[in-house]
């Protein structure tokens, strides 16, 4: 399987980290399917990839819809004949201090991150088990350790880590590894939105965050793409149930 072209599914693939991950896997000559609920952004990304000579297929899907996810994964398997790598990256933020947080903000974040990951893992594992090979890579966050104004997001990302470790235990006997990447501060559309919510410029937010990171820079989506790629390779075949913090070093 190591030298074969793999079928790779990336959720939240229209922009940011998901887009960078998709690009990395296409560059490595894989069949890549980008999934997102934003059809316009998906088509834009697909066109951008095509102009660069990087073919990728797209599916508009709501990862919280169980039946919709199952149908899309069936289509992907029917088209490609395999389903080898799943990157669960779909996510949203609804940041606020806990005493100000609304129930709908809590529910929305938990649903996208946790039910979305459940739906995609549940759909993918069927194919991976039958072919006795698979790689599941979940995108968690350093915020899983706790972060002011992100009770919902931190809880969801901590849940992703628990799911990762449990699936690693259950699926390992089928030659399926399950790992997670926990990004620190990454320059992305999501953190740009966070800056807007804070009432500061994106540049100010980047400078503030970078000053507290040991390597003295903010992360890029490409940093997470590289780690995700590693987890999919044979070099990482004895690595499972691990959470890799790609955050530029621990907080002082």
- The model's pLDDT over 90-99, given as tens digits with 9 standing for 90+, comes to 999 999 999 9
* Same domain for 198 and 228: no
Residue 153 bears catalytic tag: yes
Please give the residue range of the domain that contains residue 213: 187-218
- The model's pLDDT over 18-64, given as tens digits with 9 standing for 90+, comes to 999 999 999 999 999 999 999 999 999 999 999 999 999 999 999 99
* Same domain for 228 and 127: yes
- The model's pLDDT over 172-202, given as tens digits with 9 standing for 90+, comes to 999 999 999 999 999 998 889 888 888 999 9
pTM score over 0.75: yes
In a domain, 251, yes or no: no
Number of domains the chain contains: 2
* Separation of alpha carbons 112 and 65, rounded Å: 10
* Same domain for 153 and 114: yes
What are the CA-CA distances from residue 104 to residues 21, 100, 223 (Å)?
30, 12, 32
Contact call for residues 171 and 121 (beta carbons, < 8 A): no
User: In degrees rounded to 5, what are phi and psi of residue 189?
Assistant: -65, -35
In a domain, 134, yes or no: yes
């Amino acid at each position: 399987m190591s030298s074969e072209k793999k079928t790779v599914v990336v959720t939240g693939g229209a922009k940011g980290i998901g887009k960078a991950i998709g690009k990395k896997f296409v560059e490595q000559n894989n069949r890549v399917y980008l999934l997102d609920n934003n059809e316009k952004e998906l088509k834009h990304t697909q066109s951008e990839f095509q102009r660069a000579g990087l073919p990728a297929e797209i599916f508009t899907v709501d990862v919280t819809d169980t039946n919709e996810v199952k149908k899309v994964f069936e289509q992907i398997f029917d088209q490609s004949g395999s389903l080898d790598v799943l990157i669960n990256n779909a996510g949203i933020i609804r940041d606020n201090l806990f005493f100000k947080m609304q129930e709908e903000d809590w529910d929305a974040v938990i649903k996208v991150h946790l039910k979305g990951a459940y739906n995609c893992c549940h759909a993918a594992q069927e194919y991976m088990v039958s072919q006795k090979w698979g790689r599941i890579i979940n995108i968690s966050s350093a915020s899983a350790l706790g972060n002011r104004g992100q009770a919902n997001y931190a809880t969801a990302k901590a849940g992703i880590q628990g799911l990762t470790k449990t699936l690693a235990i259950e699926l390992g006997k089928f030659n399926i590894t399950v790992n997670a990447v926990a990004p620190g501060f990454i320059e992305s559309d999501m953190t740009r939105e966070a800056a807007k919510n804070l009432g500061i410029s994106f540049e100010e937010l980047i400078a503030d965050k970078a000053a507290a990171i040991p390597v003295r820079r903010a992360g890029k989506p490409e940093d997470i793409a590289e780690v995700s790629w590693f987890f999919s390779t044979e070099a990482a075949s004895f690595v499972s149930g691990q959470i890799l913090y790609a955050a530029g070093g621990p907080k002082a």
